[in-house]
Chains A and B, each alone.
Chain A
Amino acid sequence: MSARLLPFAVTCAIFVLAYGLAWLQFPAILSTRVIGNLLTDNAYLGIVAVGMTVVILSGGIDLSVGAVIAFSGVFIGVMLRDTGLHPYAVFLLLLAITTLFGLAMGAVIHLLEMPPFIVTLAGMFMARGAAYVLSIDSIPIRHPAIEAIQSAYWLMPGKGRLTLIAGLMLLTVAAVTLLIHRSPFGTRVMAVGGDARTARLLGVDVGRTTVAVYGLSGFCAGLAGVVFAVYTSAGYSLATVGTELDAIAAVVIGGTLLTGGSGFVPGTLIGVLIMGLIQTYIVFDGTLSSWWTKIVIGMLLFGFVALQKGLVQLRTGDRAARRRAARQSGRHRATA
């Protein structure tokens, strides 16, 4: 087992262990029904977290995604209400808008050399503001095509339902996994996240990669918005407040290094499932209060950050010594 995949292995182990413990207490929790619901309820979070994973792998962060999901719902609601466009056309239009929005944020980050934290914070205000401007009320989303999506599922053995939106989420995870771990683009993302300066020296177009990464995150946020709109049958500008935090937490629990350059996309899915499992467990238990979710997630976050800190130190311990040794001769003064 390489040190790189260790966080992913730990994530999986925690998930299996937690599921096992929950199963010992509530045997009913191990059923395709529960698993189907877990996937469906967290479909939007899974999609947006996968986009966030890519951003974080590149060494950035995207705070705008929760607001973009809310904007998407409102946008879909308003368009279906006020125009005669077919939902599919609205979806495509929306995905184009959110992707462009992400690309624009990436461009600002790269061209103005501004911290992604602040740029995407402005993006968050902008997306949420745009949602408010479109409508401050919750808008019902009804259309035969959407109802068709809602009722589409594949009956798993054990009567669990793998809904279309859950399937879409799994598909997104698979596609982004391929993109990041099997394509030249993914290697560039990892290169930029590992060390942008060296990546540039090796001929990686850091700017294009950065812009593309935020574009991808915008696309994922839009897609999550579509899924969330379908899932809730409504668009509401106050929805999914704080989803960006859940997504970041899922990424970290999924074993991706927040400093970029190291991680495994499927880990994020497990991270989302762990968070969903905690909630499911609390529902099954009935006496436990919902706030334990946040506390446990916080503890997991701390555990993973500490684990990664330890791993990084192990890995870089000897490299640091070498760097120190090499440092003196490396101090080339450019100017007096």
Chain B
Amino acid sequence: MDAVLEARGITKLFPGTVALDAVDLVLARGEVHALLGENGAGKSTLIKCLTGAYARDGGTVLLDGRPVAPRSTADAQALGIGTVYQEVNLLANLTVAENLMLGREPRRLGLTNRRSACREAARMLADYDLDIDVTRPLDAYSVAVQQIVAIARAVSLSDKVLILDEPTASLDAAEVERLFGIVRRLRDRGLAIVFISHFLDQVYAISDRLTVLRNGRNVGGGPVTEVDRLALINMMLGHDLAQAESGHRTRAPGNGPPAAQFHDFGRRGRVEPFDLTVRKGEIVGLAGLLGSGRTEMAEVIFGIDGHDSGTAEVSGTARRLDSPRAAIRAGMGFCPEDRKTDGIVADLGVRENMMLALQARRGWTRPVARREQDRMVADYIRRLDVRTPHVEKPVGELSGGNQQKVILARWLLMNPGFLILDEPTRGIDVGAHAEIIRVIEELCDRGMSLLVISSELDELATYSDRVIVMRDRRQVAELAGAEVSTGAIVSAIAAAPQQRTAP
């Protein structure tokens, strides 16, 4: 194989975690190589190590056989490794030509020679069959066009490796086809293209080979023709088909009164309208790959993104869930997936973080007495086993698992009837992991209703009474009782959609 880039044993350490553990990635000349894995698998860390955004802690990178160690993205660019991120990394306020020519403007008398800059820019885009007015600002054009402009710039600067990080995240089918045409043409020109996407159809449509990461390790890969969809999802989600099914929790099937009911609930562009009933004391699992709409569903339910269709009923009363405040008043709680930006208030202490939701609901005029606070906080620190030197320790300085417990405590001390947990066990250590699962089951036994989103399918299958499977922003399957098993979930996720993107 004619390897352009050969990365071997790439290791990256972050305080307390190994983000990449001796990962290999080999790119051949003229191939499209899909890099796959769930959130936190290490894809973006690997890309950052290759493009110089991070300094790797171990391993070697050979580019055309020569060892390289880019210190910055500009450095990597000069070496021949270009990147186009999902959020088009160009400047929306500049014109197309300015974006393409930034840093290498043709000059005349010290000023930019605009005519020749525009001619050059138009010529670059002509290679991509893009005939647009390059003197207009970039944001006058669709994302698809911006994407192509970004690729044109990256390729013109770096002609060996092109990394496309989620390039299709916000493109429609026709735009994806157009992009793929360009990718194929670049591949035929001999570039090695890394394609990162969570749309498996697209992966199969465009890729020649793939590499799968999970928890910072290589877990598989090879020519795309040799890895079928089911095997791929099993690799990504870390479930081994040969492995015995873990026992499903045996409980009386949920036939209590509905704790929350949603009819035709949805928001355009976020999640297709869905029907959902969660009964009292029931755990409903929400499964699906990254980008399947599972987090969007939770956020629409909790009023973070107001719904634009459908109705909601919580504990038997119709509710308008148009803000988190409304959802909380209805007796709901939500532990977000992204703890750092959406969950914790980093500079505030454990006590204040735990008290936040309760205090917000009571309003500023009715503070919770300090003694009462101390009692509740001490209670939950003990019950959830939060490891903190003292209750005023800024939460930002705790480990991920303890942060998660603090946010869990924030909701539990409100005694919600319906709690949504988005990836409650991601990025936390094994000990805290087990405890959080124990807490989930305990809550449910006490009559609380839970909607749990998780990529840990074994786990989800173990504690869920029902599992809803999402794909392409819509509900595609519902498994209940004895049907709930990891294998069944994986099959439902992998089931080929009605419309495939033609290869």
Chain A residues packing against B (C-beta within 8 Å): 2, 4, 178, 182-184, 186-188, 190-191, 193-195, 198-199, 201-204, 261-262, 315-316, 319, 321-326, 328-336
Are A315 and B112 also in contact (CB < 8 A) when A202-B102, A333-B39 are?
A: no
Least CB distance, A334 to chain B, in whole angstroms: 6
Residues of A within 8 A of B74 (CB): 203
Residues of A within 8 A of B102 (CB): 187-188, 191, 202-204
Residues of A within 8 A of B261 (CB): none
Distance A335 CA – B87 CA, assembled complex (angstroms): 21
Contact of B139 among A187, A315, A330 (CB under 8 A): A315
List 27 A-B residue pairs with CB atoms under 8 Å apart, sorted by A's residue number.
A2-B137, A4-B93, A184-B105, A184-B107, A184-B112, A187-B94, A187-B98, A187-B102, A190-B93, A190-B98, A191-B102, A202-B89, A202-B102, A203-B74, A262-B93, A324-B269, A326-B86, A328-B291, A329-B39, A329-B290, A330-B87, A332-B43, A332-B44, A333-B39, A335-B15, A335-B17, A336-B399
Q: 0/1 per residue, B57-75, Cβ < 8 Å to A?
A: 0000000000000000110
On whether the beta carbons of B77 and A187 are closer than 8 Å, the reply is no
Contact of A203 among B16, B98, B103, B427 (CB under 8 A): B103
Interface check B364, CB cutoff 8 A: no
- Contact count A vs B, C-beta below 8 Å: 126
Interface check B114, CB cutoff 8 A: yes
Additional 16 contacts, C-beta under 8 A, given A203-B77, A334-B14, A336-B427? A2-B136, A182-B111, A190-B94, A194-B93, A203-B74, A203-B103, A322-B143, A322-B170, A325-B170, A326-B169, A328-B296, A331-B39, A333-B40, A335-B15, A336-B14, A336-B400
Interface check B92, CB cutoff 8 A: yes
Least CB distance, A3 to chain B, in whole angstroms: 8
Distance A204 CA – B101 CA, assembled complex (angstroms): 12
Interface check B241, CB cutoff 8 A: no
Contact of B91 among A202, A325, A336 (CB under 8 A): A202
The dominant DSSP class at the B interface is loop
Interface check B295, CB cutoff 8 A: yes
On whether the beta carbons of B14 and A335 are closer than 8 Å, the reply is yes
Residues of A within 8 A of B89 (CB): 198, 201-202
Residues of B within 8 A of A324 (CB): 269-270, 305
Least CB distance, A73 to chain B, in whole angstroms: 32
Interface check B6, CB cutoff 8 A: no
Least CB distance, B198 to chain A, in whole angstroms: 6
Residues of A within 8 A of B201 (CB): none
Residues of B within 8 A of A321 (CB): 269
Distance A336 CA – B18 CA, assembled complex (angstroms): 9
Interface check B166, CB cutoff 8 A: yes
Distance A325 CA – B299 CA, assembled complex (angstroms): 12
Distance A96 CA – B204 CA, assembled complex (angstroms): 63
